[in-house]
Every structure is written in structure tokens, then in C-alpha cells.
Amino acid sequence: MNITLCMAQTKPEPWETGLRAALPGATVSNWQPGDAPADYAVVWAPPQAFLDEQPRLKALFNIGAGVDALLKLKLPPGCQIVRLDDAGMSVQMAEYVCHAVIRHFREFDGYEADVKAGKWSYRKPRMRADFPVGVMGLGVLGERVARALSVFEFPVHGWSRSPKQIEGVQSHSGSDGFNTFRSSCRVLVNLLPLTPDTTDILNAQTLSLLQPGGYLVNVARGAHLVEEDLLTLIDSGHLAGATLDVFRTEPLPAGHPFWNHPKITVTPHTSARTLREESIAQIAGKMLALSRGEAVAGLVDPRSGY
């Protein structure tokens, strides 16, 4: 088994070491132009030039959750894209989203501002029933987030393309259920994959259907959000604010209005980071299964985009 790595902005050496230990019979190397073709590749944001040199590649293993960048490339014939099922990311995402929702619901941002100003203040407790949370996208990460939010007794709604049944979550699906889902929510959490159908889905029309005083948590992709529409809805008072972990341009450019907006919390794409050891174990197991002709979880359907 010949395995090559092509990872932009990521040190390949720890991945090489880990894969050699997990697959002692395999040849593992970091790709250099002109290298011999490989059977499998472990990648993050590879260039087209890499794929052009891999005519016999059987599968690409992506080390992040999103595969939208890979779907824009021309793949070798018969090459499959395999995404990580979880690898420790779902619990991180649940932590992040619950923190963002609870921080807003309990008005901890307001308390922080008061403390900085030297004020000792109280706010009237708010009712969870008045803060229904909607989770858009009920894949591995979205389902874990929805279940975690329900533990805190928020009314939780979920939306996905096809029907899902999750305990403690009122599910909506398809285009027929989309408007009902949005109007049922005061807090909206976006965990959709980025596809042509979901690009710009967080726009003025979509976000205006949230209940007054709505709040957005975007942890999927920056291209889901029309940034100007969010700013307009916050400044008009229809939305109370947002927590954003992903952006159209990353790093977020200096001088961008999100940096200093008092009602927007910015984090540097850190809601769910890849855990290398868990990822290597999962990737190695899937490579062995594919080499035996077995089916594996996480195969991406190029038609749906995930």
C-alpha cells in the first residue's frame, strides 16, 4: 500500500509518523512533484497539480470535516472522497455551540461588559421556552449538537434534507419544512455542508424569519452567510447578535466590521479541531477495509456535496 500526504498549512511529519505506526506494511511519504503514483492520499486543501499526478488514486482522505474544496477539483477516475466520521470533533462542536447559546441566553456578555465598567448588576432571568434553538444540518456533528442543547432543556428544532428522528428534537425536513423550521427558532445554529444549494443560505430572507431578537451561531462555512445582511439585521434590532467561527476570508481581514461589532463574537475557526491521533486510527482502519474490498462509512456523494 502506497500512501501519500498533501497538506496545505499543516505539518505532515506527525501524520507520516502516525500512519507508519498504524500501517507498518505501507509506504508513507509527503508528496513532492514527480513522486510515484499512490494508492491512497491523506489531504488538506491539495492543489490540482497533486491530483493530476495521481492517476491510480483509489481514495482521498480529508483531515477536516468539510469537503467542499475537494469537490471543486478534478479527481482521478474512480477516486472516492472519504471524510472523517467524527474523530473527536463532535464533542468539541457541542461544547462550542452550547457555550455560545448559553452565553447569549444567560446574558453573560452583558455581565462581562458591566464588570469591565465596574458595575455590579443583575438581569431578570429569561425563560428557556422563549429561546427555541434550531440546528440546520443533522449529520454527525449536527445531531451531537442538537442532543447536547436538549440536555439544557432548550426547545430544540432540527432541519435536514431528509427526515431524521432524534430524541428531544423536533425535526423538520426538505424545502416544505424549511420555513416552518426557521420561524420556530429564536436561535439558529448552522452546521450545513457547503454546496451550491446552501451557499448564501444565511441571508436577509432566511434570517428575517427568525423570531424577533434572534441570534445566529455559524460554525459551518463562511460562504453560507451574506455578511452585509447579518449586519443590517443586527443594526435594525431584528437580530440580537451572532457568534461566528467561520468567514468568507480567513483569517478575517483587518478592519472588517465583525472585529469590533459589540453584538458579534468572533473566534478563529476553532469550534472543532481535528484530533490527529483519533483521525489517524480512523483513516488507517478505513484504508485497510478498502484494500480488502469492504464498505466504509464517510464516503462522499459528489452529487449531494457531502
Grid cell 429564536 in the structure block, residue? 186
How many whole angstroms separate alpha carbon 216 and alpha carbon 19?
39
Query: Is 269 marked active-site?
Result: yes
> Which entry of 106, 269, 273, 276 is annotated as an active-site residue?
269
Query: Is 273 marked active-site?
Result: no
Longest dimension (CA), the chain: 67
Stated length of the chain: 306
Q: Where are the alpha helices (DSSP H) in the chain?
A: 13-22, 48-52, 68-71, 89-105, 108-116, 140-151, 174-183, 204-208, 227-236, 257-260, 276-291
Name the helix (H) or strand (E) containing 190.
strand 187-190
> Which entry of 147, 221, 238, 292 is annotated as an active-site residue?
221
Burial of 291 (0-12, 13-18, 19+ CB in 10 A): middle
How many whole angstroms separate alpha carbon 55 and alpha carbon 41?
12
User: How many CB atoms neighbour CB 209 within 10 A?
Assistant: 16
- Residue 172: which region, alpha, beta or left (left: phi > 0; alpha: psi -120 to 50)? beta
Report helix angle 89-105 to 140-151, nearest 10: 40
Active-site residue numbers?
221, 269
